[in-house]
Amino acid sequence: MTVEHIYLAKPRGFCAGVVMAIQAVEKAAVREEKPVTVYHSIVHNHTVVERLSSGGRVHFVEDLDGVDALPDGGDTVIFSAHGISPAVRERARSLGLATIDATCPLVTKVHTEAKKYAREGYTILLIGDSAKHQEVIGTRGEAPDNTILVGVLGKTGAGLHDPHTVEVPDPERLVVLTQTTLSVDDTRKTIEILKGRFPALVVPPSEDLCYATKNRQDAVKNIAPQVDAFLVLTSTHSSNGMRLLELAEAECGRAYRLETAADLAGLDLSGVRSIGITSAASTPDDLVQDVVAHFRSLNPALQVTEEGEWENIEFREPKKILPTQELPRTMQ
Ligand code: SF4
């Protein structure tokens, strides 16, 4: 059976935080005399990391102590869009590394909230989808003694407490913060459970889930009723991308993850005439266009519809901070 109609989710793909972070690496790689080092994957997408690595001007490390061992490694480290804990920033300073902080400002906002509430003596219930996610590690690191990790509804274990049973030292001094890239619906339900158990729970007025997460999930919901199957282009370690995959599966009943168009070869799309396509906030759009081109090559009469609106948000380029310089106030 031939695929006749593709519905492209809009928005999909790169968010403002990802664009800012990738450009920070690209510009530093050109500007710096020696290759630059990125702490952790700059964004959670294999193709992006491969492309940045391919010129030999960018190295990726998971431990700053590895910088010394890099051949031709320079003295500039870039922090990824997911943010870092203060301990990593301090380690960079102690190693004498200049830093470029490509943390998304929407993650920094959550860090600022965590520091504020910890200073005021609150316990922070931090909702996340994995205790090992870089963003969760970074946010928790701002207030490790005040933070309890809570799993989003239905996802507990491995360092995450169940919202139904989590214990807190003082239910009257309690605030909930969240990872930025969770399921909107599951996060709302998780907060409702916590609020039911702890009526004094403070929920910050501006939700921590970011605009890109919400908009990409809404776009999937809009398209799902019209399609037989959904394709989601994402790496498995992209939190927002995997939430799109789960949502597409729930809304449409048939959803598949692709890293690139090469993965189409392994898919059984029998009975599928219409397909929805979306992509994680860290997935380059040319990977989506490759998938469309594949289906067009099989059916030149393929119809392609793009629903929704693009976003119009930009974040400022991060500045390089020398190890001897004072940190900007927002980073302290
Ligand atoms: Fe920032 Fe949201 Fe993009 Fe993450 S997904 S980089 S929080 S805008």
Question: According to the model, what pLDDT value does residue 317 have?
Answer: 96
DSSP code for 38:
E
At 300 the pLDDT is: 97
6 DSSP β-pair partners: 275, 304
Of the pLDDT bands very low, low, confident and very high (cuts 50, 70, 90), residue 1 is: low
Tell me the pLDDT band of 80, cut-offs 50, 70 and 90. Answer: very high
Ligand 1 neighbour 15 (Cβ under 6 A): yes
**Residue 154: partners with Cβ closer than 8 Å, 6 or more residues away:** 186
Closest ligand 1 atom to 105 CA: 1
Q: Which two tokens stand for residue 128?
A: 């996340």
pLDDT-based confidence at 20, cuts 50/70/90?
Answer: very high
Q: Which SS3 state, helix, strand or coil, does residue 11 take?
A: coil
Mean pLDDT of the region 59-81: 85
Which residue of 135, 181, 278, 313 sits with most ligand 1 atoms within 8 Å of its CB, as the best mutation to test the pocket? 181
In this prediction, residues 236-254 reach a mean pLDDT of 97
Determine the residue of 206, 207, 240, 315 to mutate for testing ligand 1's pocket, defined as the one with the most ligand atoms within 8 A of the Cβ atom.
Answer: 240
Q: How far is it, in rounded angstroms, from Cα 316 to Cα 195? A: 36
DSSP-derived letter for residue 225 is G
**What pLDDT is attached to residue 286?**
98
Residue 49 tokens, joined = 């990391």
The pTM of this model reads 0.94
CA of 143 to the centre of ligand 1 (A): 21
Reported confidence tier of residue 128, pLDDT bands at 50, 70, 90: very high
Mean pLDDT, rounded, for 149-161: 87
The whole-angstrom separation of Cα 92 and Cα 66 is 11
Q: Is the CB of 18 under 6 A from ligand 1?
A: yes
Residue 212, ligand 1, Cβ within 6 A = yes
User: Which tops the pLDDT comparison, 324 or 297?
Assistant: 297
User: What average pLDDT does the segment 217-221 reach?
Assistant: 97
135 is catalytic: yes
102 lines ligand 1 (CB under 6 A): no
**Lowest-pLDDT range of 178-192, 195-209, 294-308:** 195-209
Q: What is the percent of the chain where pLDDT is above 90?
A: 86
- Please give the C-alpha separations between residue 122 and each of 108, 173, 178, 314, in angstroms, as whole numbers: 19, 5, 15, 33
CB-count burial class (<10 Å; 0-12, 13-18, 19+) for 169 = exposed
Q: Which pLDDT score is estimated for 158?
A: 82
* pLDDT tier at 327, thresholds 50, 70, 90: low
In ligand 1, which atom is closest to the CA atom of 16? 8
Q: What is the mean pLDDT of the chain?
A: 94
| CA nearest ligand 1 atom 2, residue | 210
Please state the rounded mean pLDDT for residues 206-227: 94
Confidence at residue 328, expressed as pLDDT on a 0 to 100 scale? 56
Average pLDDT of the residues in 219-238: 97
280-294 average pLDDT score: 98
Average confidence (pLDDT) over 247-269: 96
Ligand 1 atom with least separation from CA of 210: 2
Q: Residue 332 pLDDT more than 50?
A: no
Q: Could you tell me the pLDDT band of residue 326, with boundaries at 50, 70 and 90? A: low
At residue 329, the pLDDT reads: 46
Mean pLDDT for 143-166 is: 91
**Residue 154: predicted pLDDT:** 75
Atom 6 of ligand 1: nearest residue by CA position: 17
Closest CA to 150 of 168, 126, 114, 173: 126
Q: Which of 113, 135, 142, 251 is catalytic?
A: 135
Per cent of the chain over pLDDT 70 is 97
